[in-house]
């Protein structure tokens, strides 16, 4: 027997005392609950008589001046309306009986309340009832019930581990002993809580064994659960904060929504916490702030955005001044248009509050201008491509005096070249953007082009923020770094079961092969060493025999494993590294399926057209035999298409981000994935659904440790070290080292031709002004030209970024930025940098080997802060080293003339791939000279040897025991990796033609 003070009833008493003493509640007795109608009639009529005396007298009169009859009639009417519309709708909109409207609650408005409204709000009767008997057919009771003006809004079952029961027992009790089918009053209740001293779970609908409970916990140091308390329950926030009068009425009035079948939609803790904290900060700070909300996949970002958009649209200061005149939501999700309208409609009855700009009349700009100027449309939904027009409208006329809140939904960014082209045109200032539009990079480009403005606040929602995004939108953290304003981490989402851990079942394959030059002439050809490795790998991975063998593995695994998941409805995705590879996979998979007679069909997704050596010119629609616009829905099996027609989706870039299909269970990867791309791609599998217990990844190209590092970066809060302003000064100085630029000349050209936007200037004179500079550039050697182009490009990149985050501007840098952007367009084009060895090399041996299952485990507290510009501030001029192709293939096959056998060579090849994909090693290479790089590379070299001990025991022992042999190998790789890592980074930063293998080929 538990000691006095340690029983479950003592837990109840603690909660009750807190709510009565500090929470703004009064106590109501269980006997007040009318079991015939499921309503606390005592509290209900006390509220009505206090707040609506005239309406009630009119009601009584219409019931024949019989108050008892009026009460009984109104209870029947109210009970019926609750069952029909739901408790929340009744509380917000009231009930009409006998032609008389009776309000059931008054919620706090956005502006200061007048005396009458304040009195009505204060009259709301929040009550707590312990041990509530909720059915006439039995004597079962619920531990704690919360009521608003007599209507049951929440129940809670409490458990005390000291007496042998936990929150799991509370959930079991709801599932087993709380029968909503027989006791329907239970499903009138807005939310049910299962509570013990450590954890809280909630559900909005009791369905017996099928009842789904969701965590309602604060999170604990980036993971699940709640922080420990020194002198209180860890779950005290539930009754001390969430159930407290002001907060609870706000949640009921402005968060909870009614879904299908009158089922309530209740915010999860992190959603409520994020929205209210952002709202409070915006109210205090006003416009001109930035907020980064790092919420994992599965966090319910759509609802969070809806709640935030509505609350910001009605946000006022204490002086009743609107904080934001207009809310702009940037999203490419059509479903969010409808959801926002539906969500806001539940809070307001004014039509047209939400306006989506879709170009229905053929002109998005005109439609957008009308929406922005409209006094009714407080929330405008638009796309990333249209957003520059928003800024243009804000810049113009009266709209520039208004304040704006811009909410960015990153989850579903555009994936087409057409979208990128549209954005370039909209920006209109020559901003460089990749063909495959990334929402974070694109938005940063828009801001760089237009500039940050003090009347615009940005609210960026993302699960995987890039370092640049963190630096632009992030908040200052206690350690001085930038980070998210609010966090719901991948770790917490996985631990709470909102998403699957896609690294749980991860299997890698290694490809064993031999390459040879096709002729003596080919062997003597001189090629760039830094490009040859990637060109050779391109030949390998796209070879028809390689793809054919991998296709067989894919099909057999799907048929024997994936097809048996989710009652036969599980789907798979094949991630390829190019459009050519996607076409080849489609052909190989279909051919093997036909030959084996399997019941499996594939669909392919890529942009544009590809010239195939077998089928000629093909496209996504020609291979699938239906329009490209139908690909996603056909694969998902969305009406009006037949479900289950396609089981395997083959992709090249498309659908690797922003594509949600819960039935995706298996992924086959034949593409190098690094950093953010690895996380976003593999996360296509993480969506949960009933019956989906796990996921599976089979990876032909990547190392498990590299994948672990990529995910570790986003496992908890993503932070960055703020960029040192002096790197801009250093970059400015380096731009003048080649003596192409002249400071006086730069100042004169800018002042004469660019400083005054109103002055007219002859175009011929503008071109002539750049001739001296171009003449000096043309006299340089090719490597000197490349060095100057690199230095100028680095400066322009840094300035466009840092001008958004620095509180000051430098006139010299601004002038060089204006001059340099124009000059960069006039410089002669560079060679594309690609190396094609297709006819010079042949594949002679091939073997695929399963490396086995791996469970990749992420660690709490391991994520180090990143940098938006790692290694900036140093010379990145690339030193091209040439060698004969025969020597390079000999290195690949025999490794440096050391007479190692084939197995040894393959291990060394894997070493190189590991180092090339090591982001930390790349950062060190770009920030240091060769001598300093050696210190870090030696550590990586030893780690790699140890990690591959089992791959080749003889080679491991030789490297470990023979110091001369080990040093010879290390010395050869040291220079090679230093060059490759530095060259690769330069290409990425300056968006020049890439050295790594091209992602597509015609």
In this predicted model, what pLDDT tens digit does every residue of 795-816 receive, in sequence order? Answer: 887 787 676 666 566 788 888 8
The DSSP output letter for 33 is E
Kind and range of the H or E element at 852? strand 841-854
Task: Identify the CA nearest to 579 among candidates 385, 421, 676, 435.
Answer: 435
Q: 365 phi and psi, to 5 degrees?
A: -65, -40
* Both structure tokens of 660: 């949600």
- pLDDT, one tens digit per residue, over 767-787 is 888 899 999 999 988 888 888
> Using CA atoms, how far apart are residues 179 and 184, in angstroms rounded to an integer?
8
Kindly give the pairing relationship between strand 648-651 and strand 571-576. Answer: parallel
End-to-end CA gap in the chain: 79
Kindly give the pairing relationship between strand 882-884 and strand 526-528. Answer: antiparallel
Q: 146 burial class (0-12, 13-18, 19+ CB within 10 angstroms)?
A: buried
> Using CA atoms, how far apart are residues 938 and 947, in angstroms rounded to an integer?
14
The pLDDT of residue 467 is 84
Q: Is the pLDDT of residue 236 over 60?
A: yes
Concatenate the DSSP letters of all residues of 131-151 into one string.
Answer: EEE--SS---EEEEEEEETTE
Q: Is the pLDDT of residue 762 over 80?
A: no
Those residues with Cβ within 8 angstroms of residue 548's Cβ, 6 or more apart along the chain or in another chain: 588, 592
> Using CA atoms, how far apart are residues 216 and 799, in angstroms rounded to an integer?
44
> Using CA atoms, how far apart are residues 686 and 663, in angstroms rounded to an integer?
10
- pLDDT, one tens digit per residue, over 2-40 is 565 567 889 999 999 999 999 999 999 999 999 999 999
Query: What sign results for the dihedral spanned by CA atoms 349, 352, 353, 356?
Result: positive
The single residue listed with the structure tokens 């006022």 is 316
Percent of the chain with pLDDT over 70: 75
Q: Is the pLDDT of residue 372 over 60?
A: yes
Write the CA distances from 491 to 204, 247, 293, 297, 863, integer angstroms: 25, 28, 15, 11, 12
Kindly indicate the confidence band of residue 175, based on its pLDDT and cuts at 50, 70 and 90.
very high
The single residue listed with the structure tokens 């968060």 is 255
For residues 703 and 508, the answer to whether their CB atoms sit within 8 Å is: yes
- pLDDT, one tens digit per residue, over 849-883 is 556 566 677 777 767 676 665 554 444 444 444 44
Torsion angle defined by CA atoms of residues 655, 660, 662 and 663, in that order, rounded to the nearest 10 degrees: -30
> Which region among 194-203, 367-376, 567-576, 824-833 has the lowest average model confidence (pLDDT)?
824-833
pLDDT top residue among 774 and 640: 774
- Compute CA 101 distance to the chain's CA centroid, rounded to the nearest angstrom: 46
Q: Is the pLDDT of residue 833 over 60?
A: no
Q: What is the mean pLDDT of residues 356-362?
A: 60
- pLDDT, one tens digit per residue, over 714-751 is 888 888 877 777 788 888 899 898 898 998 988 888 88
The pLDDT of residue 207 is 92
For residues 624 and 634, the answer to whether their CB atoms sit within 8 Å is: yes
Q: Is the pLDDT of residue 709 over 60?
A: yes
* Both structure tokens of 541: 């991975």
SS (H, E, C) 489-526: CHHHHHHCCCECCCCCCEEEEEEEEEEEECCHHHHHCE
> Using CA atoms, how far apart are residues 751 and 748, in angstroms rounded to an integer?
5
The pLDDT of residue 414 is 39
Other Cβ atoms closer than 10 A to 902: 15
The pLDDT of residue 649 is 96
Q: Is the pLDDT of residue 921 over 90?
A: no
> Using CA atoms, how far apart are residues 504 and 507, in angstroms rounded to an integer?
10
The pLDDT of residue 988 is 43
CB environment 150-160: b (16+ within 10 A), e (fewer): bbbbbbbbbbb
Write the CA distances from 157 to 7, 131, 267, 386, integer angstroms: 14, 10, 19, 50
Residues in the chain: 1002
Strand order in the sheet with 26-27: 26-27, 126-133, 141-148, 151-158, 191-195, 200-203, 214-215
Kindly indicate the confidence band of residue 597, based on its pLDDT and cuts at 50, 70 and 90.
very high
- pLDDT, one tens digit per residue, over 248-303 is 999 999 999 887 777 889 999 999 999 999 999 999 999 989 999 999 988 888 89
* Both structure tokens of 141: 């009771």
Other Cβ atoms closer than 10 A to 895: 20
The pLDDT of residue 893 is 44
- pLDDT, one tens digit per residue, over 138-151 is 999 999 999 999 99
The single residue listed with the structure tokens 């991630």 is 575
Task: Identify the CA nearest to 695 among candidates 684, 704, 705.
Answer: 684
Kindly indicate the confidence band of residue 103, based on its pLDDT and cuts at 50, 70 and 90.
very high
> Using CA atoms, how far apart are residues 899 and 355, in angstroms rounded to an integer?
71
């Amino acid at each position: 027997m538990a000691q006095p003070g340690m029983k479950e009833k003592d837990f109840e008493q603690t909660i009750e005392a807190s709510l009565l003493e500090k929470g703004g509640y009064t106590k109501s007795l269980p006997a007040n609950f009318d079991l015939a109608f499921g309503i606390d009639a005592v509290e209900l009529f006390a509220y009505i008589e206090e707040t609506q005396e005239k309406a009630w007298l009119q009601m009584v009169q219409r019931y024949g001046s019989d108050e008892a009859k009026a009460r009984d009639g109104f209870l029947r009417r109210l009970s019926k309306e609750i069952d029909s519309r739901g408790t929340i709708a009744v509380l917000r909109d009231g009930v009409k009986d006998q032609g008389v409207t009776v309000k059931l609650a008054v919620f706090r408005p956005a502006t200061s309340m007048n005396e009458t409204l304040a009195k009505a709000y204060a009259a709301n009767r929040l009550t707590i009832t312990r041990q509530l008997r909720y059915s006439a057919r039995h004597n079962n009771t619920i531990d704690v019930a919360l009521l608003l003006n007599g209507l049951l809004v929440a129940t809670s079952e409490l458990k005390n581990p000291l007496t042998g029961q936990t929150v799991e027992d509370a959930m079991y009790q709801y599932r087993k002993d709380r029968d909503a089918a027989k006791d329907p009053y239970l499903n009138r209740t807005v939310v049910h809580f299962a509570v013990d001293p450590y954890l809280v779970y909630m559900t909005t609908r009791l369905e017996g064994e099928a009842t789904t409970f969701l965590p309602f916990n604060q999170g604990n140091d980036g993971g699940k659960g709640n922080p420990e308390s020194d002198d209180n329950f860890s779950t005290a926030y539930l009754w001390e904060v969430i159930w407290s009068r002001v907060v609870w009425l706000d949640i009921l009035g402005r968060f909870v929504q009614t879904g299908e079948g009158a089922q309530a939609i209740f915010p999860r803790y992190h959603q409520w916490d994020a929205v209210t904290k952002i709202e409070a900060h915006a109210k205090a700070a006003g416009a001109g702030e930035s907020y980064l909300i790092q919420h994992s996949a599965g966090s319910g970002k759509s609802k969070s955005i809806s709640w935030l958009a509505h609350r910001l649209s009605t946000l006022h200061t204490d002086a009743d001044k609107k904080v934001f005149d207009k809310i702009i939501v940037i999203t490419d999700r059509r479903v969010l248009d409808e959801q926002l309208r539906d969500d806001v409609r539940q809070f307001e009855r004014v039509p047209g509050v939400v306006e989506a700009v879709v170009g229905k009349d053929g002109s998005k700009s005109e439609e957008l201008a009308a929406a922005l100027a409209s006094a009714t449309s407080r929330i405008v939904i638009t796309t990333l491509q249209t957003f520059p027009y928003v800024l243009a409208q804000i810049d113009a006329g009266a709209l520039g005096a208004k304040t704006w809140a811009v909410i960015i939904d990153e989850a579903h960014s555009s994936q087409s070249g057409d979208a990128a082209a549209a954005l370039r045109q909209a920006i209109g200032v020559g901003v460089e953007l990749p063909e495959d539009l990334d929402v974070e990079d694109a938005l940063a480009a828009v801001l760089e082009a237009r500039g940050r403005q003090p009347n615009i606040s940005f609210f960026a929602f993302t699960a995987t923020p890039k370092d640049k995004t963190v630096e632009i939108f992030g908040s200052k953290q206690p350690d001085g770094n930038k980070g998210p304003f609010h966090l719901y981490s991948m770790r917490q989402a996985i631990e709470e079961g909102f998403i699957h851990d896609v690294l749980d079942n991860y299997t890698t394959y290694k490809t064993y092969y031999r390459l040879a030059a096709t002729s003596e002439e080919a062997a003597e050809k001189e090629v760039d060493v830094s490009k040859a490795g990637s060109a050779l790998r391109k030949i390998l991975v796209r070879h028809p025999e390689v793809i054919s063998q991998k296709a067989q593995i894919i099909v057999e695994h799907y048929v024997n494993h994936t097809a048996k998941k989710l009652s036969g409805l599980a789907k798979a995705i094949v991630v390829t590294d190019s459009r050519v590879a996607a076409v080849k996979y489609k052909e190989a998979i279909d051919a093997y399926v036909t030959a084996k007679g399997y019941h499996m069909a594939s669909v392919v997704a890529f942009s544009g057209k590809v010239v195939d050596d077998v089928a000629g010119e093909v496209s996504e629609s020609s291979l699938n035999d239906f329009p490209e616009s139908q690909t996603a829905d056909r694969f998902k099996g969305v009406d009006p298409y037949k479900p289950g027609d396609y089981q395997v989706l083959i992709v090249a870039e498309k659908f690797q981000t922003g594509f949600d299909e819960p039935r995706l269970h298996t992924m086959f990867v034949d593409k190098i994935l690094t950093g953010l791309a690895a996380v976003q791609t593999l996360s296509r599998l993480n969506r949960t659904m009933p019956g989906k217990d796990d996921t599976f990844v089979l990876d032909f190209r990547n190392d498990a440790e590299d994948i672990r590092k990529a995910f570790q970066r986003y496992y908890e809060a993503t932070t960055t070290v703020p960029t040192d302003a002096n790197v801009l000064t250093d970059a400015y100085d380096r731009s003048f080292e080649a003596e192409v630029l002249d400071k006086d000349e730069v100042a004169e050209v800018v002042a004469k031709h660019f400083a005054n936007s109103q002055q007219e200037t002859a175009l011929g004179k503008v071109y002539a002004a750049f001739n001296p500079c171009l003449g000096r550039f043309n006299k340089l050697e090719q490597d000197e030209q490349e060095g100057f182009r690199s230095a100028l490009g680095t400066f322009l990149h840094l300035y466009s970024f840092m001008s958004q985050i620095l509180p000051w501007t430098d006139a010299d840098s601004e002038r060089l930025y204006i001059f340099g952007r124009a000059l960069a367009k006039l410089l002669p084009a560079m060679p594309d940098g690609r190396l094609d060895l297709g006819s010079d090399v042949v594949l002679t041996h091939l073997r695929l080997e399963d490396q086995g299952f791996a469970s990749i485990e992420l660690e709490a507290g391991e994520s180090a802060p990143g940098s938006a510009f790692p290694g900036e501030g140093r010379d990145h001029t690339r030193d091209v080293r040439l060698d004969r192709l025969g020597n390079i293939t000999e290195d690949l096959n025999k490794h440096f003339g050391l007479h190692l056998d084939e197995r040894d060579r393959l291990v060394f090849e894997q070493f190189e791939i590991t180092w090339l994909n090591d982001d930390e090693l790349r950062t060190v290479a770009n920030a240091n000279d060769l001598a300093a790089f050696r210190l870090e590379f030696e550590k990586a070299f030893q780690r790699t040897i140890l990690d591959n001990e089992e791959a080749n025991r003889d080679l491991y022992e030789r490297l470990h025991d023979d110091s001369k042999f080990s040093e010879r190998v290390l010395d050869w790789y040291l220079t090679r990796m230093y060059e490759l890592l530095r060259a690769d980074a330069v290409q990425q930063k300056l968006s020049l033609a890439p050295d790594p293998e091209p992602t597509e080929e015609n």
